[in-house]
Amino acid sequence: MRPGQSAGELAAQTEGFEGLCEGRITAQPSGTAGFGYDPLFVPAGHTASFAELGAAVKQALSHRAHALALLQAHFSRLSAGARRPLDFRPAGC
């Protein structure tokens, strides 16, 4: 916030980036890696759970990775002079 900038001006400049990872919850857990729901969650386009796919694949497909890709695209567009975020969803989920 710069001197003299109001909270309303700052709120108008705030952007949100949401990532999604679609998939299904299985009835039986499979795999031992990860934590929480990882043995139960099979991402779309895959037949193995996050616990079976491993950390590198999970990180590439995760909702966080998608949100960060949107943020990166937004920064790229801002540096090129664009004013609005790009509507972009990486492949994978």
Is there a domain that residue 48 lies in?
yes
In a domain, 85, yes or no: no
In a domain, 72, yes or no: yes
Residue 90 domain-assigned? no
Tell me the C-alpha distance between 7 and 36, whole Å.
38
pLDDT for the residue 83? 58
With a CB cutoff of 8 Å and minimum separation 6, the contacts of 64 are: 19
**pLDDT score of 6:** 63
Predicted pLDDT of residue 5: 60
37, 21 contact by CB (below 8 A): no
In a domain, 35, yes or no: yes
Q: 54: domain range?
A: 17-79
Q: In order along the chain (93 residues), what is the average pLDDT of each group of 10 residues?
A: 59 78 94 89 95 90 89 85 57 55
**pLDDT number for residue 53:** 94
- Let me know if residue 4 belongs to a domain: no
Q: How many domains does the chain have?
A: 1
